[in-house]
Structure 1
């Protein structure tokens, strides 16, 4: 096992060459026709567990049970994003990157090991500009009521608004208008990119749907495997609204940087039942002990998620849903747990509400790990049909696509960007885009 020191962010420093990046805030106005759900208890972890039990009960449509009416949500929101371009300047083609559940915009530009796992780095080296967003409701984008505001449809409308602003050259901080916008999603971000192509087929030039298939039957297993907890209780210093001042004072005698970690280490070393170094590492890194530590060193302003934002319980749940044992760097996996993001209850209730088919007539690539759990049940090749893979069955969603292709990344689970062979996948995506006439220009 890695040393406890690997739990700190100090080893994550690095740089990515040949690119220029800036953080931008994008104001969007949206109008979204979406569900109005009955309120239910969701304050504590027991409430969250009850929600997951109700949602995953066999033969029960909990979304339909809670739905009371429909509403038109109208509002102005802010989307946090990171814009990157080659040092030589921006091309007229941009990749608009939408993350999945459990992540934020950093999924596309992981700083770990000198940005060795960065999708953005590979795309920019091929001449593309990229815009990685925090989806509406998540990360540093505007939050909102997690049940009746932050729903899939509202996020699709925000994604469409950003796309239009990119084409018009009206994104604050970006002095370029883009002739072509390629939508690249991961997981729920792929669902939303697909959804956009259904409602606004003329507002995308190409789709790359990673960590995706048209098969939603594994969602209940995924929700159960997350062992969901209230986000503000799981990582109170990052997700809540409390100051870390008291924690800093309690562990201040251990110095700066790794103070809380050192304090927990000291406590565990002196418990009645003696723990080995490896056992201490497991206790800190793979359980909620680590989640209590997370954010202490990095959180400047808490994200202030209200009740109704929920998150996977710990690193073991993260591995089950996102990672293939033996095929990822444990340090990067821990970084994923340290920087994880929650999901809104409204998102879970509406994730399966997208249209059945898209009229989009451009090129579509589905790129999914062979051992993807949420969309393939852990084996994307076990179709039981004549289709070569479960993602390949998604072709029926795109009857008018000029090209539809499903690529399966071997020895990779749902969180593609966290696996050893991630960059080979990035290269395959860029090669495919160029073959479809969507090379950077």
Structure 2
């Protein structure tokens, strides 16, 4: 497994040689009611973030929700049927503050040269956000507890941040494991193409190194068979995002054994039972929560009090599965233990 992931990281790195950089612009967003947009400065520009407080306006704990490589903040703050699919609202209703953050290169964040983006850079930006939330983000009161939540690539960057800086109180990992299905990962990568060729990004000035999924590819890549509302898939396609393969080499290395064992705070891993990327060959480690726990617990320290959860039928994007509320409930239950 270690050799295979290193080889996959090398393939991703080699693919970068065919990309030509340019410059793009960031698009503005409108905050939801009760939320506040805050630009967070980093070395390469600014990250677009939205801070939302729960009903009542105060919270001791904040969850940092960062988008993965094919998504922006809409993955966590989904507009269609929010009573079902909006993870951010579910956490706010449970009494937790949330900070939805777009990585550099997508959403309303700055889009620097595509080849300058790395998972390491994202983890360092995440560290800065965590520190700011404790100190009083955007001039507000500091939070006593900070929990990071990642999806796919940003689960890797959450592992990188927590194992390096030891400054968070909990880590939620989704669409992640130490047992990737290499053929399926390569199959999904083959569905990527330059964002300049996609109608969704027409006229937005993205450089040719920025990639996105080909039209119609997201169902295979991110959903379980039959486990989706067609309107969700259409919204997903309309709000899909750009990323750079330069984010993958160091991000993939964070799925190797070792780094996650350095995290000494509670960890929850949530994966769909039909996640073709994270469940290994034939979805072997995702038969149920007990099977996932047996496969993955060895990679975490006792202090992590590791918890595993499998969402039946879901693909890679657990936030968008038909039964995603079961996953939300499991996360809230875990959050109560932190």
* Bin for the TM-score computed over the shorter chain: 0.7 to 0.9
Q: Deviations over 1:408-429 (max 9, x none)?
A: 1111111111111011110110
Choose from 160, 168, 173 the match for 1:204: 168
Deviation per residue, 1:230-280 (Å, 9 max, x gap): 011113xx424x2xxxxxxxxxxxxxxxxxxxxxxxxxxxxxxxxxxxxxx
What are the Cα deviations for residues 299-332 of structure 1, in whole angstroms up to 9, with x where unaligned? xxx3x321111111122x2011101122110111
TM-aligned CA distance change 1:211 to 1:199, over 3 Å: same
Match of 1:310 in 2: 211
1:86 counterpart SS class: coil
Q: In structure 2, do the counterparts of structure 1 residues 25 and 115 end up closer, same or farther at CA, with 3 Å as the change threshold?
A: farther
Task: Evaluate the alpha carbon distance shift between residue 94 and residue 232 of structure 1 in structure 2; reply closer, same or farther with a 3 A threshold.
Answer: same
Task: Report the counterpart of residue 250 of structure 1 in structure 2.
Answer: none
Given the alignment, which residue of 295, 300, 316 partners 1:414?
A: 316
Paired residue for 2:328, among 426, 430, 440? 426
The alpha carbon displacement at 1:104 in A equals 0.5
Gaps of 5+ in 2: 1-30
* TM superposition shift of 1:183: 0.8
The structure 2 residue matched to 1:20, chosen from 27, 30, 34, is: 34
Residue in structure 2 matching 1:188, options 125, 128, 153: 153
Q: Which residue of 2 aligns with 1:125?
A: 93
Deviations 1:65-93 (A, max 9, x none): xxxxxxxxxx3531101211123112121
Which whole-Å CA distance do the structure 2 matches of 1:21 and 1:133 have between them? 13
Could you list the runs of 4 or more consecutive aligned residues of structure 1 that deviate by over 6 angstroms after TM superposition? Answer: none
SS, match of residue 309 in structure 2: strand
Q: 2:128 aligns with which of 161, 185, 191?
A: 161
Query: What is the CA RMSD across the aligned residues, in angstroms?
Result: 2.3
Question: CA deviation digits over 1:21-64, x for unaligned, max 9?
Answer: 12221113xxxxxxxxxxxxxxxxxxxxxxxxxxxxxxxxxxxx
Shift of 1:121: 1.2
Residue pair 1:213, 1:390 contacting (<8 A) in 2 also: no
Gaps of 5+ in 1: 1-14, 29-74, 243-301
SS at match of 2:236: helix
Verify the 8 A CA contact 2:272 2:286 in the aligned structure 1.
Answer: no
Greater Rg over alpha carbons, structure: 1
Distance 2:80 2:305 in 1: 34
Q: 2:46 aligns with which of 78, 83, 89?
A: 78
Corresponding residue for 2:103? 135
- The 5-angstrom pairing of residues 223-242 of structure 1 reads 223-226=186-189, 227-235=191-199, 238-240=200-202, 242=203
